[in-house]
Homo-oligomer: A and B are copies of this chain.
Amino acid sequence: MVGKEGKEGKEGKEGKASKLSIQLKTPKGTRDCEFLEARWSDKIFKEITEVFKRHGGTQLDTPVFELKEILAGKYGEDSRLIYDLADQGGEDCALRYDLTVPLARWLAMNSSVQHLKRYHIAKVYRRDQPASRMREFYQCDFDIAGTYDPMIPDAEILRIIVEVFEALGLRDDITIKLNHRKILDGLFAVAGVPEDKTRSISSAVDKLDKLPWAEVKAEMEEKGLAPEVADKIGEYVKLNGGKDLLETLKADAHICANEDVSKGLEQMELLFRYTDAFNVTDKISFDLSLARGLDYYTGVIFEIVTALSPPDDFAPSKKSSYKPKKSGDNDEDRSDDPTLGVGSIAAGGRYDNLVNMFSKKRQIPCVGISFGVDRIFTIMKQRLEKQQKEGTAVVRSSEVDVFIMAFGGKGFTGLLPERMAVANQLWEAGIKAEFAPSVKPRLPQQFKLAEAGGVPLAVILGEDELAAGNVKLKILGLPEGHPDKEGSLVSRDNLPAEIKKLLATLPL
**Which residues on A are within 8 Å of B, measured CB to CB?**
1-15, 18-28, 30-35, 38-39, 41-42, 50, 53-67, 69-70, 83-88, 90-91, 93, 95, 105-106, 108-118, 123, 125, 127, 136, 146, 148-149, 152-153, 155-156, 159, 163, 273-274, 276-279, 358-362, 397-400, 416-417, 420-421, 423-424, 427, 430-434, 437-439, 453
Contact = CB atoms under 8 A, between A and B. Distances in A.
B127 A91 contact: no
B66 A112 contact: no
Contacts of A437: 148-149, 152-153, 156
Contact of A62 (B26, B423, B427, B432): B26
A96 to B, nearest CB: 11
A34 B8 contact: no
Complex copy number for this chain:
2
A3 B114 contact: yes
A456 to B, nearest CB: 13
B112 A6 contact: yes
A91 to B, nearest CB: 5
A56 B434 contact: yes
A56 B400 contact: yes
A115 B39 CA distance: 19
**Residue from A11, A117, A136, A434 whose CB has the most chain B CB atoms within 10 Å:** A117
B54 A1 contact: no
A-B complex: 5 closest residue pairs judged by Cβ atoms: A3-B115, A30-B63, A277-B420, A38-B59, A84-B86
B15 A109 contact: yes
Nearest to A270: B439
Contacts of A63: 26-27, 30-32, 136
Contacts of A155: 420
Nearest to A33: B61
Contacts of A6: 112
A32 B148 contact: no
B116 A2 contact: yes
A32 B61 contact: yes
A56 B105 contact: no
A392 to B, nearest CB: 22
B56 A26 contact: no
14 contacts: A3-B114, A5-B114, A10-B111, A14-B361, A21-B69, A22-B70, A23-B69, A33-B60, A33-B62, A42-B59, A54-B431, A55-B432, A64-B125, A279-B424
Contacts of A30: 63, 65
Contacts of A149: 437-439
B38 A152 contact: no
A10 B424 contact: no
A60 B83 contact: no
Contacts of A14: 108-109, 111, 359, 361-362
Contacts of A433: 54
A19 B424 contact: no
Given A24-B109, A54-B433, A432-B56, A64 B136 contact: yes
Given A360-B19, A424-B278, A4 B113 contact: yes
Contact of A361 (B18, B127, B152, B420): B18
A239 B14 CA distance: 45
A434 B55 contact: yes
Given A23-B67, A57-B398, 17 more contacts: A1-B58, A3-B115, A10-B111, A10-B112, A12-B110, A23-B69, A30-B63, A33-B59, A35-B118, A38-B58, A53-B398, A56-B434, A63-B136, A149-B437, A152-B439, A277-B421, A277-B424
Contact of A111 (B8, B62, B113, B398): B8
Contacts of A398: 53, 56-58, 117
Contacts of A2: 58, 113, 115-118
B5 A54 contact: no
A82 to B, nearest CB: 9
